[in-house]
């Protein structure tokens, strides 16, 4: 798989000032690309419906090309530009970052991941 764009190096992300735009990668199904670069509008449920109480959805990114390739097997890699101030380091993760869904970001590129290898067993 060839890359013409790369994520920002992990050390650079960590040391970047809050307003710096960094490039990270997320893996997702092709029909989920709309989760990125979407500014959420407050949802108003119809009258009589009780809104669900739950955790806010977070988007997970990586600064590692190897991790991006592994996570995107038979899926797509979404390269995004996002300001460092919106990112939270994922504890105990070498290259993982997260932000809430609806965070302002720019989709730079979408690239297909590696195909999953399918093993076949032959009867001898």
Which pLDDT score, from 0 to 100, does residue 53 have?
47
The string of DSSP codes covering 66-82 is: HHHHHHTTTSEEEEEEE
Higher pLDDT, 40 or 97: 97
What is the model's pTM? 0.77
pLDDT, one tens digit per residue, over 28-44 is 998 888 888 644 344 44
């Amino acid at each position: 798989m060839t890359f013409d764009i790369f994520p920002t190096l992990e050390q650079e992300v960590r040391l970047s000032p809050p307003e710096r735009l960094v490039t990270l990668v997320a893996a997702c199904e092709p029909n989920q690309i709309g989760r990125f670069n979407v500014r959420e509008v407050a949802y108003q449920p119809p009258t009589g419906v009780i809104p669900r109480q739950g955790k806010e959805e977070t988007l997970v990114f990586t600064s590692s090309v190897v991790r991006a390739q592994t996570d995107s097997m038979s899926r797509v890699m979404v390269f995004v530009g996002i300001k460092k101030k919106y990112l939270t380091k994922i504890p105990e993760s070498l290259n993982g970052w997260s932000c809430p869904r609806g965070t302002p970001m720019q989709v730079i590129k979408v690239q297909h991941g590696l195909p999953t290898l399918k093993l076949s067993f032959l009867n001898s």
